[in-house]
Copies of this chain bind each other. A is one copy, B any other.
Amino acid sequence: MKYPTGVKRNANQHMHGLNDKSKDKSNTDYSARGMTLEKDLDVTNTYYLNSDIAVIHKKPTPIQIVHVDYPARNRAKIDEAYFKTPSTSDFNGIYRGKYIDFEAKETRNKTRFPMINIHEHQVDHMHDCESHGGIVFLIVRFTAYGETFVYPFKEFYKHWMIFKQGGRKSIPYADIKESSITVPIRLNPRVDYLAAVDELFFK
């Protein structure tokens, strides 16, 4: 499927990476369902850690530091730095003795998940992790529906390979929904994605 000229950019603007709040002010909007996916995952991972269920952390945003100022005896101030393209996914850790690795994205798009904000290095990384025996998936939220999916990487990768061979640049919403487990928003843990992982990877 080709996008009409000019529409592709708009589609891109509706996809929000989670690894960089500063880039996109819309990440601070709160949907009708509550917090952003990044915030939901943060409180969920804290719950998992404190409940001794899993040790999963978001990696820091990769930054290229160009200059650091040392004003008198104060702490070091970085006064010139730039965002770098991430070479891995944003989240990893250990669950039930297994290595776990995932990327989390939310989109306002109602009909499809555009590939454009997933970096090739991240896909390669997730592919490597899976081939080494890790549990790998994406967490995709369609904010228009307030739906959060745990989407196995191997399902994503089928679409990615089609995309890389010149095929469609997005995954239809219905395809994701069919291959995923939906994670409800609850009080605590807020987004219990490991229940979906149990279902998808441990049965």
Contact = CB atoms under 8 A, between A and B. Distances in A.
Chain A interface size, under 10 / 10 to 19 / 20 to 34 / 35 or more: 35 or more
Interface in A76-120: 76-84, 87-88, 92-101
Interface stretch (A33-41, A125-133, A168-176, A180-188): A125-133
A8 interface: no
A77 B81 CA distance: 6
Number of copies of this protein chain within its complex: 2
B97 A132 contact: yes
B76 A128 contact: no
A93 B136 CA distance: 12
A61 B59 contact: no
Given A68-B22, A99-B93, A125-B55, A82 B88 contact: no
Contacts of A125: 55
A83 B87 contact: no
Contacts of A55: 125, 128-129, 132, 134
A80 B78 contact: yes
Nearest to A23: B76
Given A61-B63, A75-B82, A80-B79, A128 B97 contact: no
A73 to B, nearest CB: 14
Given A57-B87, A61-B63, A78-B82, 20 more contacts: A21-B65, A22-B65, A22-B76, A55-B129, A55-B134, A60-B61, A60-B84, A63-B65, A63-B81, A76-B82, A77-B80, A78-B83, A79-B79, A92-B93, A94-B132, A95-B132, A97-B133, A97-B134, A98-B99, A99-B99
- A-B pairs, top 4 by smallest CB distance, nearest first, are A97-B133, A94-B99, A60-B62, A78-B81
